[in-house]
């Protein structure tokens, strides 16, 4: 993971070619997130369906997303801070394509979907959806409205996958039990290091305290991620041994400044599910801090 951008894709990010794969993966690179440049430059609660349509329906090549980020100031010196960057993972996608000679869609299909038996998952690059998906809606000042289908190219390998809840839990099971990566690599993935410790973020995965206690009496750690589509939100977490896994989502993402927080209801459902399956009779209350659906970005469709 010490491999740098310039070692794989020379010139992809001039002036920052020494950023490493590890720094991109755990969001300590400082790379700005140019995806947000495609959205209106005003408060999110003033956005309309038309605003979102203009941003999320067109095809966005990976190179375009990187170039948008190049126009923004670098967040911080690599390794000295933590800031979530979708474009960091777009850059990783481009590096994987250069290293393998295959499109990121094919890499993910052959190395993740097939071995994990995720039969209803795909990384798309158009608004055509070939399978089951959650219809996106937005909650606006004028009421609930259907949103145009998102072109997943706006996220690429940062979160453009369509998947069912079963496929997501199959993925976490395959990952945690070593069917996708060696145990030592998975252990590294779930171990926050350096500046990423402040966010309890490993390499592509958050750690949170669940509602149960271990046999030693310590809070059980859950591992996973949340995702934010433009009309949907999703979350998926698992125990380290993959014995208990949950994935869920809702449609109707809010673009209203005030009102009930649907993320809170989703988090409550997640915690209730894990609490109901505590392996001991001593449930606990999750520690304050990073919640299962209060950050991150992606477009999981369950």
**Domains defined along the chain, listed by start:** 5-276 (3.40.710.10)
pLDDT digits (tens, 9 = 90+) for 260-287: 777 888 889 999 999 999 986 555 554 4
Q: How far is CA 297 from the centre of its chain?
A: 5
Q: Are 207 and 200 in contact (CB under 8 A)?
A: yes
Give mean pLDDT, residues 217-239: 93
pLDDT digits (tens, 9 = 90+) for 189-200: 999 999 999 999
Identify the residue with better confidence: 175 or 134: 175
pLDDT digits (tens, 9 = 90+) for 33-67: 999 999 999 999 999 999 999 999 999 999 999 99
pLDDT of residue 302 exceeding 90 = no
Identify the residue with better confidence: 173 or 288: 173
pLDDT of residue 207 exceeding 90 = yes
**DSSP string of the chain, one letter each residue:** ---BHHHHSTTSSTT-TT-BHHHHHTT-S----GGGGGS-SS-GGG--HHHHHHHHSS---HHHHHHHHHTSPP-SSTTS-----HHHHHHHHHHHHHHHSS-HHHHHIIIIITTTT-TT-EE-SSS---S--PPPEEEETTEEEE-PPP-GGGTGGGT-EE--HHHHHHHHHHHHTTSSS-HHHHHHHT---GGGGGGTB-SS-EEEEEEEE-TTSSEEEEEEEEEE-SSEEEEEEEETTSSSEEEEEEE-EE--SSS--HHHHHHHHHHHHHHHT-SSS---PPPSSS-TTSS-------
pLDDT digits (tens, 9 = 90+) for 87-139: 999 999 999 999 999 999 999 999 999 999 999 999 988 887 777 778 899 99
pLDDT digits (tens, 9 = 90+) for 9-41: 999 999 999 999 999 999 999 999 999 999 999
């Amino acid at each position: 993971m010490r491999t740098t951008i310039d070692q794989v894709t020379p010139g992809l990010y001039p002036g920052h070619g020494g950023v490493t794969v590890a720094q991109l993966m755990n969001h300590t690179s400082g790379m700005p997130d140019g995806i947000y440049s495609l959205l209106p430059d005003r408060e999110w609660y003033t956005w309309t369906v038309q605003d979102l349509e203009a941003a999320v329906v067109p095809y966005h090549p990976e190179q375009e997303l990187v170039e948008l980020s190049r126009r923004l100031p670098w967040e911080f010196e690599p390794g000295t801070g933590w800031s979530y960057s979708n474009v960091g993972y777009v850059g990783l996608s481009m590096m994987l394509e250069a290293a393998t000679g295959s499109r990121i869609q094919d890499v993910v299909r052959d190395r993740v979907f097939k071995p994990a038996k995720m039969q209803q998952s795909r990384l798309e690059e158009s608004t055509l959806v070939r399978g089951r998906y959650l219809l996106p809606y937005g909650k606006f000042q004028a009421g609930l409205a259907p949103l145009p289908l998102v072109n997943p190219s706006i996220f690429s390998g940062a979160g453009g996958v369509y998947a069912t809840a079963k496929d997501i839990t199959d993925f976490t099971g395959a990952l945690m039990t070593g069917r996708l990566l060696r145990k030592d690599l998975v252990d590294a993935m779930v171990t926050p290091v350096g500046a990423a410790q402040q966010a309890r973020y490993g390499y592509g995965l958050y750690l949170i305290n669940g509602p149960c206690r271990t046999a030693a009496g310590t809070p059980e750690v859950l591992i996973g991620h949340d995702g934010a589509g433009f009309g949907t939100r999703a979350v998926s977490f698992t125990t380290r041994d993959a014995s208990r896994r949950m994935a869920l989502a809702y449609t109707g993402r809010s673009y209203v400044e005030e009102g009930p927080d649907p993320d809170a209801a989703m988090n409550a459902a997640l915690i209730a599910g894990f609490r109901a399956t505590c392996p001991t009779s001593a449930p606990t209350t999750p520690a304050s801090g990073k919640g299962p659906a209060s950050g991150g970005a992606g477009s999981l469709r369950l």
